[in-house]
Structures are given as C-alpha cells and as structure tokens.
Amino acid sequence: MSTSRNKQAPNDHANSNTQLTARSWQPRANRRNLGVLLASASIMALLAITWNGRPAFAVALIATTAPIVALCAIDIAEYRLPNAITYPLGLASAIAVVLVGILEADSDAIGRALLAGLTLTALYFTQVIISWGKGMGLGDVKLAFSLGTLLGYLSWGHVIVATIACYLVAATCGIILILTKRATRKTHIPFGPFMAGGYFATLLIPLFVR
C-alpha cells in the first residue's frame, strides 16, 4: 500500500503544479480578453463616427477591428501573430475592399487597395530578409497585407502616413526604453501594436482634423 502511494505522489505533485499554473494563467487571460473587448468597442465607435459618411467602408473597418486588436494583445503577451487570425483577416480585408468598391462604384479603389496590400507586404518581407527575422517576423508581414489593403482603398497617402507613423513611434519607444535601461538593442519588442497604432491613428485623423 505504501509503495503504491509513493509511486503516485510525483504524479499528484505534477497535477497540482499544472492546476496552479492554469489557475494563475486564467485571470491574466480574462483581463486580456476584457481589454481586447473594451479597446475594440472604443475604436469601433470612433471609426463609425469618423466614417459615417461612407457607411460601407465604415462597416469594413469595424468588421476587421477586433481581430487587429486581438493580434496586438497576443503580440504583446506572446511575441507572435498567429496564422489563425492573420490569414482570415487578410482574406476578409481583400473581400471587404472588393465589396465596398462595388457598392461605391469605385473599381480604381479596389485595384489600388489590393496593390497597396501587396506592396506593404513586400516591404515588410524585405525587411525580414535583411534583418534575418530579428527586427520583425512573418506575422508582421501577413498583418501588413490587411492594413495596407484597407488603407490603400482610401489612397496611397494613407498607406505612407500610417507606415511612417508606425516606424517613428516604434523607433522613439525603442530609444526611450534603451535610454531608461529598460531594454537593450537585442531586446525583442513586438512590432504588431505599432503597425496597428499607425493604422488606426491614420484612419481617425479626419475625426480630429477637419
């Protein structure tokens, strides 16, 4: 009897550790999910107000907001942008601009949107190759297609402004972290949130600048 108990003890201890880990992880996951929900709702409301004059395009932006915000949260927590979200988001973005272009009778915007998505994808992929994946990863490349496509539907200017804003803010934050000794040049900083930040900021400019 005693031998049997001794054999089971390590398993019981492992199960206990697993349960403790699961319990400690659950509150963090719940807080992250709540944060994604609140951030998504707030951004959706702002986008709806900003683009109320173009309801079809507003719906496209609102429909793709939650996945983008979720990707930011995952990138911050886990340093990755999962294919399970980036691929469907890319497909949804492409379909969205086609449908919006049809509803708005603007075929030129459809072509420009898809070309902008591919161009931004190529830009990020080139950077991944040059940096050997140290500056950013393929997840950023996949996200770039969605953001470039949606911004490109408006104009090339929107794509350029969002991209410049993204790099400037990322560089500024990196410099501040290094100067305050909270990071080094080798510290990995998730880039997805900066991409999304530049994207949303560019889309919301008309709300604050009339």
**What are the pLDDT digits (tens) for 168-201?**
999 999 899 889 888 887 788 899 999 999 999 9
pLDDT for the residue numbered 143: 98
Domain membership flag for residue 82: yes
The pair of three-digit structure tokens given for residue 106, joined into one six-digit string:
């603007």
pLDDT for the residue numbered 23: 54
Domain membership flag for residue 6: no
CA–CA distance, 33 with 25 (Å, rounded to integer): 12
Residue holding tokens 């019981």? Answer: 12
Report how many domains make up the chain. 1
Domain membership flag for residue 2: no
Domain membership flag for residue 160: yes
Domain membership flag for residue 177: yes
Domain membership flag for residue 146: yes
pLDDT for the residue numbered 26: 64
DSSP letter for 79, please.
Answer: S
Give the pLDDT confidence of 5-31 residue by residue, as tens digits. 344 444 554 454 444 444 545 666 678
pLDDT for the residue numbered 131: 81
Domain membership flag for residue 30: yes
Domain membership flag for residue 201: yes
Task: State which residues form the domain around 50.
Answer: 19-208
CA 133-74-15 angle, 5° bins:
110
Mean pLDDT of the chain: 88
User: If pLDDT is split at 50, 70 and 90, which confidence band does 134 have?
Assistant: confident
The pair of three-digit structure tokens given for residue 128, joined into one six-digit string:
């991944």
